[in-house]
Chain A
Amino acid sequence: SQQGEEDPQALSIQEGENATMNCSYKTSINNLQWYRQNSGRGLVHLILIRSNEREKHSGRLRVTLDTSKKSSSLLITASRAADTASYFCARRNQGGKLIFGQGTELSVKP
């Protein structure tokens, strides 16, 4: 499989808590992307971080990237029940295709 590793595979938290998901990859990257997938809206692009960036914010999302460790993390602050979904990291290869991780299934309980 070309997929990277994500952990945890599943995460259950209470509304208002923060959720952290991690992603590791094997080859060098130009950028890393995070996607969310739920049954209502399909697979949606959340945020992209370039290889020369260490941290990026978008609303309640914070992404970090450590190219020396080939890893990235996605932090969702002040989680809401509507954040319940699967989250995937993905890198784009030179041909343009996205290579996804296995995903983290997040459950936010009200």
Chain B
Amino acid sequence: GAGVSQSPRYKVAKRGQDVALRCDPISGHVSLFWYQQALGQGPEFLTYFQNEAQLDKSGLPSDRFFAERPEGSVSTLKIQRTQQEDSAVYLCASSLVIWGRVTEAFFGQGTRLTVV
């Protein structure tokens, strides 16, 4: 499809398990963002890539969270030793950069992670 694709849509993990969430951005989009959205809250920024470079990871809540985008397209968000507080929807967004400015962001449907 032409939009941002995330997989899996739903993930149930046992506490302590490692998970990997995948994001396929829109082809040609240089910028890629990850957000975490807790139930009833707005999305909160986790990390930002421009091509393969991770320019901002200030929102990652702990060193258990790790994101990569090795070839500047697909990105993976990995959470090690999951905890119950990691339960949330993880959203990925991509956008173009024109004249040095990030343009409109297109969001994927998200991955709903439930840690039991």
Q: Could you list some 17 contacts between A and B, CB below 8 A? A: A1-B44, A2-B44, A3-B41, A3-B44, A42-B110, A43-B43, A45-B104, A88-B43, A90-B42, A97-B56, A98-B43, A98-B45, A98-B105, A100-B42, A100-B43, A100-B44, A103-B42
The answer to the question of A99 belonging to the interface, with a C-beta cut-off of 8 Å to chain B, is: yes
Contacting pair A96 B107 (CB below 8 A): no
Within 8 A of A (CB), among B58-116: 59, 91, 93, 95, 97, 101-102, 104-110
- A99-B45 CB under 8 A given contacts A42-B110, A44-B107: yes
Within 8 A of B (CB), among A26-44: 42-44
Tally the A-B contacts, defined by beta carbons under 8 Å: 54
Binding site for A on B (CB under 8 A): 31, 33, 35, 41-45, 48, 55-56, 59, 91, 93, 95, 97, 101-102, 104-110
Complex: how many Å from CA A96 to CA B91? 16
Looking at chain B's contact residues, the main secondary structure is strand
The answer to the question of A92 belonging to the interface, with a C-beta cut-off of 8 Å to chain B, is: yes
Interface size on A, residues (CB 8 A): 20
For A39, give the chain B residue with the smallest CB separation: B109
Complex: how many Å from CA A1 to CA B44? 9
